[in-house]
Amino acid sequence: MQRVIFEIISNRALTEQVYEMCLAGDTSAITRPGQFVELSIEGLFLRRPISVCNFDEGRLTLVYKVVGKGTADMAAMQVGRKVDVLTGLGNGFNVEVECERALLVGGGVGVPPLYRLARELVARGHKVSVVLGFNTASEIFYEQEFRSLGVDVVVATADGSQGVKGFVTDAIRESGVEADYFYSCGPLPMLKALSQSVNIDGELSLEERMGCGFGICMGCSIQTDSGAKRVCKEGPVFKKEEILW
């Protein structure tokens, strides 16, 4: 974990509620896709945890949804503003898994951390398929960014306004996607349904409310096959078989 002062270099709306913020600063503590950072918001006691969408030397990209005062304040931040950030938090996805065909499944704001993961898997020579789930067409984001990586992309919308009508599990079944390992991030009901319907090994990145973000408060604990584990510290990424639903 490292505390860094970043400078906002862009902050733009991707949809009505989802924004992309790019920042300049020291990203050396971020080492794996699937990790997260915590931003200090003026006037709020608790930092806001945001998954890392992408990172390069000196540049950090966050994609977040406005759901309350903290993220609303983030959306209003202007270029040039300095932001206090804790970086390198959590354990990310394992990109060294031996597999030929990887399936990445994201739902809503669970999509962003999969972008960097897809980028790294492609660089390692894996065949990558990505399934993105949203409620409706107006909420879709980053579809073209994934396609620009050269991966296969399938989109599902619950109302059928774009792509496959239904959930990500419907899209996987209807598109005939084949894989020997999967990675996923999204709401718990989606992760549970995916785990129970896909008969291959995989990893799940969980979304939980976090107090401290680095394992002190125990507020984000979940039950696993080896006892309680903290999403912010032992996670947010867990192996499929670890989770007790």
pLDDT of 208 over the 80 cut: no
Residue type at 173 in one-letter notation: R
Asked if 219 and 132 sit in the same domain, the reply is no
The C-alpha atoms of residue 122 and residue 135 are separated, in whole angstroms, by 28
Residue found by looking up tokens 């902050």 in the block? 11
CATH code of the domain in which 215 resides: 2.10.240.10
The C-alpha atoms of residue 138 and residue 153 are separated, in whole angstroms, by 17
Query: What are the angstrom distances between the C-alpha of 84 and each of 32, 137, 179?
Result: 21, 34, 40
Helical packing angle, 168-175 and 188-197, nearest 10°: 30
Q: What is the mean pLDDT of residues 123-146?
A: 98
Residue 213 banded pLDDT, cuts 50, 70, 90? confident
Compute how many other C-beta atoms are within 10 angstroms of the C-beta atom of residue 100. 11
Asked if 80 and 144 sit in the same domain, the reply is no
CATH code of the domain in which 69 resides: 2.40.30.10
> 17: phi > 0 → left, psi -120 to 50 → alpha, else beta; which?
alpha
Residues 6+ positions from 211 with CB-CB distance below 8 Å: 46, 217, 219, 220
The answer to whether residue 174 is domain-embedded is yes
The C-alpha atoms of residue 183 and residue 202 are separated, in whole angstroms, by 6
The whole-model pTM stands at: 0.95
Asked if 85 and 9 sit in the same domain, the reply is yes
**Residue 48: what pLDDT?**
93
Residues 6+ positions from 212 with CB-CB distance below 8 Å: 219, 232
Domain containing 152: what range?
101-207
Q: How are the residues of the chain apportioned to helix, strand and coil, as percentages rounded to the nearest 5? A: 20, 40, 40
The answer to whether residue 95 is domain-embedded is no
Asked if 122 and 177 sit in the same domain, the reply is yes
| Averaged pLDDT of the chain | 95
Residue 3 banded pLDDT, cuts 50, 70, 90? very high
